[in-house]
Amino acid sequence: MDRISTGIKGLDEVLRGGFPKGRTILVVGSPGSGKTTFAMQFLVGGAKAGDPGLYASFDQKPEWVKLDLASFGWELDSLEQSGKLTFIDATALKRRGQRVMEPETRVGSQVSLQIPELTLPSLARMIGRIAAEEGTQRIVVDPVTSLMLRYPEEVKRRRALLHFFDALESTGCSCLVTSEMRTSELERKFQLEEYLSQGVVLLHTMIHNGSIVRGLQVEKMRGISHDDQLRPYQITQAGIEVYPKDKVFEATLR
């Protein structure tokens, strides 16, 4: 199975060679666990290696996301201008009810989804169309959690998720989807997003003897053999770094 580098320091080693290519990977973590950093690092890694990427932002407008990540020195603007990175502003999906009224506008490689009657299916089609036009290799959807807000009814949410994951899969790109969830909650319930993804990476935040401890776990990764242990990670000045040889509680003793 073909592999692609994750762009996350130490993670390729955990995966014994990177993510499987062309699959949909879910990244799950609590607030502040670094999901957006993880996702953008994945795109930047690809862009620097020549793979155009697409970032669909459900919660934060692209300007804000870029501002939040500015300290990492990834030069997102220059990647965008060179066409290596395309931003889709899908925040309209979160705020309004079932539809938005304004027409789509496009400035440079940033697309603002203000098309009439924006729905999840139309967003899915648009992602597919742009990905095809731009020769996109990697897609990030950050975070899928917003669908919860639009679909309070479980049955409809379930159908929307199924449809949306299908649409991502049919692009042929390597996709990464983030989801906000506490790990304690994770231990309780069947989670549809996990089930629909070919890979699941958990970002655990634990309190151990009064200290916050962060650990990454590759819970599921179809098609490849990988390290399934909990490995410490940090959010450093250069982005997320995983320590593939350390154990979580030992790491807290440093």
Out of 110, 119, 122, 229, the residue judged to bind its own copies by CB under 8 A: 229
The residues, any chain, with a CB within 8 Å of residue 36's CB and separated by 6 or more, are: 60, 65, 68, 69, 142, 143, 178
Q: Dihedrals φ, ψ of 23, to 5°?
A: -105, 170
Of 50, 187, 253, 254, the residue at the interface with its own copies (CB under 8 A) is 187
The backbone torsions φ and ψ at residue 132, rounded to the nearest 5 degrees and listed phi first, read -65, -45
Residue 65, number of CB atoms within 10 A of its CB? 20
Q: Which of 107, 117, 133, 209 binds its own copies (CB under 8 A)?
A: 209
134 binds its own copies (CB under 8 A): no
CA–CA distance from 173 to each of 46, 58, 100 (Å)?
12, 19, 28
- Tell me which of 107, 117, 133, 152 binds its own copies, using CB under 8 A: 152
User: Could you give the string, one character per residue 66-95, with x where binding to its own copies holds by CB under 8 A and - elsewhere?
Assistant: -xxxxx----------------------xx
Residue nearer to its own copies on the CB measure, 36 or 86: 36
Say how far apart CA 136 and CA 252 lie, in whole Å. Answer: 39
Closer by beta carbon to its own copies, 136 or else 145: 145
- Out of 140, 230, 240, 242, the residue judged to bind its own copies by CB under 8 A: 230
**How many chain residues touch its own copies (CB under 8 A)?**
65
Q: Which is nearer to its own copies, 102 or 250 (CB)?
A: 250
Phi, psi of 13 (to 5 degrees): -70, -40
In terms of Cβ atoms closer than 10 Å to its own Cβ (0-12, 13-18, 19+), residue 129 is exposed
CB 124 within 8 A of CB 58: no
Binding segment for its own copies (CB under 8 A), chosen from 4-12, 38-46, 99-107, 188-196, is 188-196
- Asked if 249 touches its own copies (CB under 8 A), the answer is yes
Can you tell me the distance from the alpha carbon of 153 to that of 52, in angstroms, rounded to the nearest whole number?
A: 36
The residues binding its own copies (CB under 8 A) are 1, 30-32, 36, 59-60, 64, 67-71, 94-95, 97, 145, 148-149, 152, 154-155, 158-159, 162, 166, 180-182, 184-185, 187-190, 192, 194-195, 198, 200, 207, 209-212, 214-215, 217-225, 228-230, 235, 237, 247-250
